[in-house]
Amino acid sequence: MDLPKLWRSTLAEVELSVTKATYQTHFSTTQLLSLDKGIATIGVANPLMRQLVESRYYSLIKSILDQRTKENTSLVFVVTAKKERLSPQDSGPLFSQIAGLPRVDFQSVARRLHIRPETTFASFAVSTTNHMAYAAATAVAKTLGSAYNPLFLYGGVGVGKTHLMHSVANAILEKKPNTRVVYCMGEEFMNEIIEAIQTKSARQFKQKYRSAQLLLVDDVQFIAGKQTAQEEFFHTFNAVHREGGQIILTSDRSPTEISKLEDRLRSRFEGGLIVDISPPDFELRVAITNIKSGEAGMSIPRDAAQMIAANLSHARAIEGFLKRLSTEAATKSVPINKELVAALLKIKPNQGPGETTPQTKRVSPQELLVAVADYFGVKTTTLKGPKRDRPIARPRQVVMYLCKTELGMTLNDIGGLLGGRDHTTVMHGVNTITHELSTNDHLRGSVEGIKQRLWV
Query: Is 244 assigned a ligand-binding role in the annotation?
Result: no
Q: pLDDT tens across 30-60, in order?
A: 999 988 888 888 988 777 677 778 777 888 8
Q: What is the pLDDT of residues 61-96, one digit of tens each?
A: 988 898 888 888 888 888 875 433 434 433 333 443
Give the pLDDT mean for 115-128.
Answer: 87
Would the annotation count 420 as a binding residue?
Answer: no
Beta bridge partners of 57: none
Task: Assess whether 74 and 101 both reside in one domain.
Answer: no
How far is Cα 456 from Cα 449, in angstroms, rounded to an integer?
A: 10
User: Is the same domain home to 67 and 21?
Assistant: yes
As a whole number of angstroms, the distance between CA 173 and CA 133 comes to 20
The count of domains in the chain is 4
Q: 200: phi > 0 → left, psi -120 to 50 → alpha, else beta; which?
A: left
Give the pLDDT band of residue 21 (cuts 50, 70, 90): low
The domain of 338 spans 282-345
Whether residue 40 is contained in a domain is answered as yes
Mean pLDDT of all residues in 2-7? 90
121 with 267, same domain: the answer is yes
H helices of 223-281, where?
227-242, 263-269
Domain of 392, CATH number, reads: 1.10.1750.10
> Residue 293, SS3?
helix
1 pLDDT more than 90 = no
- Asked if 128 and 18 sit in the same domain, the reply is no
Q: Which residues contact 434 (CB under 8 A, 6 or more apart)?
A: 401
Q: Which of 288, 309, 279, 316 is nearest to 123 (CA)?
A: 288
Q: Is residue 325 part of a domain?
A: yes
What H or E segment, with its residue span, contains residue 24? none
Average pLDDT for the chain: 84
Of 280, 178, 182, 293, nearest to 239 (Cα)?
182
357 pLDDT higher than 70: no
Contact yes or no for 337/305 (Cβ under 8 A): no
Q: In what order do the strands lie in the sheet with 31-36?
A: 31-36, 39-44, 74-79
Q: Determine the pLDDT at residue 93.
A: 39
The answer to whether residues 109 and 214 belong to one domain is yes
DSSP letter string over 382-448? HHHSS--SHHHHHHHHHHHHHHHHTS---HHHHHHHTTS--HHHHHHHHHHHHHHTTT-HHHHHHHH
What's residue 105's pLDDT? Answer: 62
pLDDT in tens, 205-250: 998 999 999 999 999 999 999 999 999 999 999 999 999 999 999 9
Query: Does 193 lie in the same domain as 227?
Result: yes
For the stretch 93-114, pLDDT in tens is: 344 333 443 444 677 888 888 8
The answer to whether 424 is a known ligand-binding residue is no
Instruction: Give the per-residue pLDDT at 103.
Output: 42
**Are 41 and 156 within one domain?**
no
Is 161 among the annotated ligand-binding positions?
yes
Q: What is the 3-state secondary structure (H, E, C) of 330-361?
A: HHHCCCCCHHHHHHHHCCCCCCCCCCCCCCCC
Query: Residue 422: is it exposed, middle or buried by C-beta count within 10 angstroms (0-12/13-18/19+)?
Result: exposed
DSSP 26: I
Mean pLDDT is lowest, of 237-241, 350-354, 383-387, for: 350-354
Last residue of a domain, one of 276, 300, 315: 276
Strands 39-44 and 31-36: antiparallel
**CA-atom Rg of the chain in angstroms:** 25
